[in-house]
Structure 1
Amino acid sequence: MGWFMEHFIRLFLAGSLFFNGLSYSHKASKYTFIKEARVAPPRSTYEYIVIGGGSCGCPLAATLSQGGKVLLLERGGSPYRNPEEINIQKFVHSLADTSPSSFSQQFISTDGVLNSRARVLGGGSVLNAGFYSRASYSYIRESGWNESLAESSYKWVEKKVAFEPPMMQWQTAVRDGLLEAGVLPYNGFTFDHLYGTKVGGSIFDKEGHRHTAADLLEYADPIKISVYLHATVQKILFRYNQEKRKPQAYGVIFEDALGVIHRAYIGSKMKNEIIVSAGAIGSPQLLMLSGIGPANHLKSHGIQVVLDQPLVGQGMADNPMNVLIVPSPLPVEVSLIQTVGITRSGSFIETASGLGFGHSWTDRLRGIFEFVSNQSGLPPKFLPEAMESVADTIRSLANPILKGGVILEKIIGPRSSGHLELLTNKPNDNPSVTFNYFKDPEDLRMCVEGMKTIIKVINSKAFSRFRYHNMPVQALFDLMLQLSVNLRPKHPSAAFSLEQYCIDTVLTIWHYHGGCQQGKVVDHNYNVIGVEALRVIDGSTFHGSPGTNPQATVMMLGRYMGQNIIKRRLSQGRK
């Protein structure tokens, strides 16, 4: 049993790095207004230019098209080009493909944690585990959003992309285990963020088809919107507004897949604007590449400074994820995130099951580490021993599909934060990102409490038939501590510590945010402070991740702000 269990843990743990990217879609929708950037005119003019067709950019552009002529620029391709490409059976390919046309771009934070960012129309909603849950009411109020408009915006999104998932045996056992562990009350199925245990929504329908933020473009006016794929924005253009005495955005330069340069402008009307929705990594990176950021840092990369703004790239945070892998003596269903325990201690407990991986996945994972560590010709940031340790874990993976599931915790917030810096002045290159996982002791306390809750769930009567009774939970910790799940230093110790376990085995749950925070880089209307005709609207403006999963709120924000912008435009037109 010992070899089998260790083999299973190695196999499943590697999968846990990517379980949140599972992707299943049979929809092959076509929009006449979605085209390759290579057919774009050399110069064009719009009332709104939205940079980034992700979870926020798609609903934002669709809404704005109801009030003006809109251009949406997306650096990736279409999720509709081949429905099987993002089928659940192909999730590994979608996440691990390092080709220029892939939907996912991998990077390793300076913390030594493997991560990825979306590069596809629909953004992270094309790659994630599909969990759909709204922000808490307190988060909505603290963000300064109108509660009624936020509610209607959520419902607008949910009509297209949110569903009640089918609850099967594994998810039910974890749900009942959470209740037995005291994560109360039981709130049933709900999109709302409520203390206790609930079943959340999913962007997978009952047939298992994925619905993404790109589907929200069905709301767009096809006459007033143009969407260009493989359109990589090189920089935002500025001129000096003498009346306002500040820089004013007036256009963008973007490159198509053939390397041809195109220019798009917003005209001379003051109510026209450019909106950056390139995500928590892409938005601060693009502001810097365009000359808005810390002056000395920009000058070191040969970038002309438009506005010295030292807070661009600051406040980068990623909700840390820590997991336990639970091998099962019984067959389990393939399930993504459905059950969640929202604790009062500040941690969220979630689960997935039935994931299996083979040799082809092993080869791709090895390729990711080689690709990311060697890209840009930069010197390696991590010790060779650490890279080799990860390689050993990868090499240990084998072909069989084994039974079991993963129970994970992430913490609210987090309080710990870091920063983003440019490594090159090329927009397709990853910047350097530091998240400073568990730098704040309160984050570590919440992780420990979350892991204690997971232990209670595994030991619960409700979950008993899905665990090997001759293998105590401590054995799962011991085996996982022997594995290399990231490039962080390991601290083996005879005295087991949940604190050190959290630090050493931290993974990402892909909920990073910050870099263009509200009140620091943008104002309460998401206008970039100190600049005219430029906004940033996406998760880079958040101070904390909303709820148990941010995608519902990011999509809501696109709709919410689109309506606000149109309302403002109409009121200006009446003056």
Structure 2
Amino acid sequence: MYDYVIVGGGSAGCVLAARLSEDPDVKVCLIEAGLTDASPNIHVPAGAAKLFRTRHDWDYDSHHEPFCADRRIYLPRGRVLGGTSSINGMIYTRGHRQDYDSWEQPGWSYDELHPYFLRAEDNERGASAHHGAGGPLAVSDNRSRNPMSDAFIAAAIEAGYSANDDFNGPEQDGFAYYQVTQRDGMRCSSAVAYLRPAVERPNLTVETGVQVVRVVMEGARATGIVGWRGDDTVTIRAEREVVLTAGAYNSPQLLMLSGIGPADLLTALGIPVVVDQPLVGQNLQDHPQFWLVYGHNQPVSLLVAGEERYQRQFAEHHSGPLSSNGPEAGGFVRSRPGLPAPDLQFVSLPVMYVDGGLGAPSQHALSFGAYVLQPRSRGSVTLASDDPTAKPRITHNYYADEADLRTAVDGVRVALDIARQRALTPYTERPVSVPASDSEADIRDFLRRNTQSSYHAAGSCAMGMVTDAELRVLGTEGLRVADASVMPRLISGNTNAPTIAIAEKAADLVRGLAPLSPDLSAVTSH
């Protein structure tokens, strides 16, 4: 018996476990389907490329995407302590102020959430009005500094865009290196940042290798979970609350397996209906992303990372190619005048990126492209079976709304313009994956056949639809969701930092603490 049972030891779950167990009078259990984060490929930043479709990945694919040439698109998700923060590209961005204000949920405006970003953060640049210092999550400047990343930034400035040394500062627009969630050149996942310092507390239990198959509901109240560890059934009871932090695909799946979801679907699958909630799994969002790839003869891509000199550099200084987060540089662009905020985010990767990250690089290359930041298209997560081990049916519906495709076309044109700049001449010798021409038809065809996920799934248990503003699942007691799935609208940037901030605030909501004051300008160690 525990006071709180947290399902999912990822970006949000590690935060909740650490914060709730700060109170020695409560007992907390964190449950993770995967194993511990012991693999060196997790902690050496450039090793992330080797984690896809391994035991550390849920290895999901979308269903056939009707507006993307009917392709199934690879959707990696971390199945390990730290969750996707243990396998992601480590970019630290928060999105735009208007994203949070547009949620129109009490307590979740940008000004109200900003103190939680600061509380989480330990930025090596120090505390300021826009950054925290002394928090659990290390945020650092990039230590790789690949010459192709330098050239990409220079080419964007040659193309007329501004420089911006802080995408989380006063303005989002412009190009630069991204800050990353690393400490001393090593990955700083939520497991490293939050769980590792807390794991020895006697009131915190971490269960790994347990796949939760349903929340135990007694009437409308959540009283625990049932899970499977191999062939054994595990039952864990919660005296106060069950909190789902399993992510935008698995949290709605677990709700439906527990009888909370669309009654017609649950009845058809033979799952007893506890709460008829047709919006569970709906409102799914992601940033559709395209990549342009150019081959060249300069021996500077991440293919050289395994060379002895670079292994020695990393061992001695934790810098160089092995410290690369992958998408080292990029920027934010408004595709047309008059927009209130950027609608495209660019990323540049100093290696050949093919087949959604699943293909092996065959030559030195530069890859760069953009996300559509405010997609209007909506998808869904539904059950394909009542068997909890069956993967959920995921459809993102990328480009279902014509406006998203229009923005992506604009993004390709910006990318092609950057590619033509003098600074990139040494690295754009051979087009490997680019549109057949710059015509509208060819760009649209390229996008439909080459768009990938940005791995930023959100919105499938949204506040105001599935939960209230305190993240309590509507129609239930003792049950909350606290991960990226609660975002009513996807934020304009990478989702890891916002998910951690959501979990920081969720911890205060669960504990009944007063919210941090939005008047705070900087926060040190909490």
What TM bracket, shorter-length normalisation? 0.7 to 0.9
Quote the offset at 1:116 in angstroms: 2.2
Which letter maps to 2:273?
V
What's the offset of the Cα at 1:212?
Answer: 0.7
* Residues 510-549 of structure 1: pairs in structure 2 closer than 5 A: 510-549=455-494
Question: 1:197 is paired with a residue of what secondary structure?
Answer: strand
CA pair 162-539 structure 1, distance change in 2 beyond 3 A: same
1:53-109 Cα deviation digits (max 9, x unpaired) = 1111111121111233211111111112x3256645654542122xxx443423243
Deviations 1:142-194 (A, max 9, x none): 3442656633422343323321113331111111212222333x221454461
8 Å contact from structure 1 (residues 248, 534) kept in 2: yes
Contact preservation (8 Å) 2:48, 2:88: no
Match for residue 94 of structure 1 among 19, 26, 51: 51
Aligned to 1:107: 61
Q: Tell me the residue number matched to 1:554.
A: 499
Instruction: Tell me which residue corresponds to 1:501.
Output: 446
AA in 2 matched with 1:349: F
- For the pair 1:253 / 2:226, whether they are aligned, the reply is yes
The alpha carbon displacement at 1:124 in A equals 0.6
Kindly report which structure 2 residues correspond to 1:240-319, keeping only aligned pairs within 5 A, or say none. 240=219, 247-257=220-230, 259-267=231-239, 272-319=240-287
Paired AA for residue 142 in structure 1: S
2:376 counterpart residue number: 415
Q: CA deviation at 1:122?
A: 0.5
Indicate conservation of the 8 Å contact 1:183/1:342, yes or no: no
1:69 aligns with 2:27: yes
Structure 2 residue identity aligned to 1:504: R
- 1:161 matched residue in structure 2: 138
- Which residue is equivalent to 1:464? 425
Aligned partner of residue 66 in structure 1, secondary structure: coil
Q: 1:403 to 1:418 in 2, by over 3 A?
A: same
User: TM-score scaled by structure 2?
Assistant: 0.80
TM-superposition CA deviations, 1:264-285 (whole Å, max 9, x none): 2222xxxx21111110000000
Alpha-carbon distance in structure 2 between the residues aligned to 1:86 and 1:108: 28
Q: Is the 8 A contact 2:353 2:367 kept in 1?
A: no
8 A Cα contact 2:284 2:378, kept in partner: yes
Q: 1:452 to 1:206 in 2, by over 3 A?
A: farther
* Partners of 1:85 and 1:412 in 2: CA distance: 27
Q: Distance in 1 between matches of 2:253 and 2:82?
A: 20
**Counterparts of 1:123 and 1:235, CA distance in 2:** 19
Identity %: 26
Q: 1:355 Cα shift?
A: 4.8
| 1:200 pairs with one of 178, 196, 201 | 178
Is the contact between residue 286 and residue 458 of structure 2 (CA under 8 Å) also seen in structure 1?
yes
Secondary structure of 1:497's aligned partner: helix
How far residue 567 of structure 1 moved from its aligned partner, in angstroms, is 3.1
Pick closer, same or farther for the CA change 1:566–1:220 going to 2, 3 Å: farther
Change (3 A) 1:194 1:91: closer
Aligned pairs for 1:181-200 (under 5 A) are 181-184=159-162, 186-192=163-169, 194-200=172-178
Give the Cα separation in 2 of the matches to 1:337 and 1:495.
Answer: 27
Following the alignment from structure 1 to structure 2, what is the Cα–Cα distance between the partners of residues 145 and 323? 33
Per-residue Cα deviation, 1:277-308 (whole angstroms, up to 9, x for no partner): 11000000000000000111001111010011
Give the Cα–Cα distance (whole angstroms) in 2 for the partners of residues 226 and 195 of structure 1.
43
1:356-505 map, 5 Å: 401-468=362-429, 476-477=433-434, 496-505=441-450
Alignment-derived partner of residue 387 in structure 1: none
The 1:513–1:88 alpha-carbon spacing in structure 2 relative to 1, beyond 3 Å, is: same
Q: Distance in 2 between matches of 1:128 and 1:116?
A: 9
8 Å Cα contact 2:53-2:76 kept in structure 1: no
Q: TM-score, normalised by structure 1?
A: 0.74
Residue 173 (structure 1) aligns with: 151
Q: Which residue of 2 aligns with 1:389?
A: none
Contact residue 153 and residue 176 of structure 2 kept, 8 A: yes
Alignment match, 2:321: none
Match of 1:352 in 2: 349
Other structure's SS at 1:198 match: strand
Give the match for residue 235 of structure 1.
Answer: 214
The alignment of Structure 1 onto Structure 2 pairs a total of residues equal to 457
| 8 Å CA contact 1:329, 1:467 repeated in 2 | no
Q: Do the aligned partners of 1:340 and 1:350 also contact (CA within 8 Å) in 2?
A: yes
Q: Does structure 1 retain, via aligned residues, the 8 Å contact 2:293–2:352?
A: no
Q: Which has the larger radius of gyration?
A: 1
Whole-angstrom distance in 1 between the partners of 2:439 and 2:410: 21
The residue that corresponds to 2:114 in the other structure is 151
The residue aligned with 2:331 is 341
**1:358-383 deviations in whole A, cap 9, x for unaligned?**
xxx99x96xxxxxxxxxxxxxxxxxx
- Sort the Cα spacing of 1:46 and 1:505 in 2 relative to 1 into closer, same or farther, 3 A: same
Kept after mapping to 2: 8 A contact 1:331/1:404: no
Describe the SS at the equivalent of 1:95: coil
The 2-side partners of 1:66 and 1:517 are apart by 28
Amino acid at match of 2:75: N
Equivalents in 1 of 2:118, 2:173: separation in Å?
A: 21
Relative to structure 1, the CA distance from residue 249 to residue 476 in structure 2 (aligned partners, 3 Å threshold; closer, same or farther) is: closer
The structure whose residues are more often helix, as a share, is 1
- Identify which of 133, 151, 156 aligns with 2:93: 133
Pair 1:458–1:205, CA change in 2 (3 A): farther
Change (3 A) 1:168 1:121: same
Task: Give the Cα separation in 2 of the matches to 1:187 and 1:494.
Answer: 31
Q: In 1, distance between residues paired with 2:428 and 2:449?
A: 25
Amino acid of the residue matched to residue 297 of structure 1? L
